[in-house]
Amino acid sequence: MSKDPIQRLLEEHVSLLARFQPLRKAVRDLETGDPASVPAVLPVLGAVSRVMSTDLVAHARREDDAFFPAVERAMGADFGPTRVMRMEHAEIHEGAERFRSTLKELQEVDHPAIVEGGERLAGLADRGGDAKQIHDVCRDLLERIDAHFAKEEQILFPMSRSILGPADLQEVARLMEEMDGR
C-alpha cells in the first residue's frame, strides 16, 4: 500500500514550514525598515522564492488535483472547506508572486546601472521603503501560509479521515505518486 496521503500532506507541511524558518528570521531582521538589512536577507529571499515556486506549488497541486477531489466526491462538490482551501491556495500563489516581483525589484534596484541612476534608490533608502516593502510582503505571505496549514491540519485533514475510506485514500495516494512522476 502507498503512503497515507493525509500523512504525506502533513509531513510536507512540516518540511515546508522548516524551510520557511530563514524567511521568518529575515522578516524579523527587516522589521525596523533599515535599508542596510536588505542585502543580508536577499539570499534567503531567493532561496525561499524557489521553494515557493517549486515545492509549495507542487504541494498545492497534490491537494487541488488529488486530495480535494476525493473529499468533494465524498461530501459533494460544494463542500465548504475544500472550496475555501482552493481560494486560499490562489491567495498564497498571489502572495508568492508579489514576493517574487518584490525580490526582482530589489535585485534590480541593487544592480549598478540602476544604482547609478540613483533617484529612486535614494528615495527608497531614505524611507527604508525596500526593507519595509519586502517585510510586509513576506509577513503577509507567512501569515497566509500559517493560517491555511492550520485550517487543513485542524479541520480538513481530521474530517477527511472520517469520510474517506481505505480505497479513497489509496486512490489519492496513487494520484499523488503519478503526479510526482510528471
| Residue with the larger pLDDT of the pair 15 and 105 | 15
Q: Would you state the pLDDT for residue 11? A: 97
Rounded Cα distance, 127 and 2, in Å: 54
Distances 15 to 60, 72, 145, 164, 181 between C-alpha atoms, Å? 14, 26, 13, 25, 20
Question: How confident is the model over 57-76, as pLDDT tens digits?
Answer: 888 889 888 998 888 888 77
What angle, rounded to 10 degrees, do the helices at 119-127 and 129-151 form? Answer: 60
Rounded Cα distance, 6 and 153, in Å: 9
Give the model's confidence band at 169: pLDDT under 50 very low, under 70 low, under 90 confident, else very high: very high
Q: Would you state the pLDDT for residue 127? A: 41
Q: Would you state the pLDDT for residue 94? A: 81
Q: Is the pLDDT of residue 121 over 50?
A: no
Domains of the chain: 5-176 (1.20.120.520)
Give the model's confidence band at 181: pLDDT under 50 very low, under 70 low, under 90 confident, else very high: confident
For range 133-157, the mean pLDDT:
85
3-state secondary structure 73-90: HHHCCCCHHHHHHHHHHH
What angle, rounded to 10 degrees, do the helices at 80-110 and 129-151 form? Answer: 160
CA nearest neighbour of 103 among 147, 43, 149, 157: 43
Q: Would you state the pLDDT for residue 77? A: 65
For range 7-26, the mean pLDDT:
95
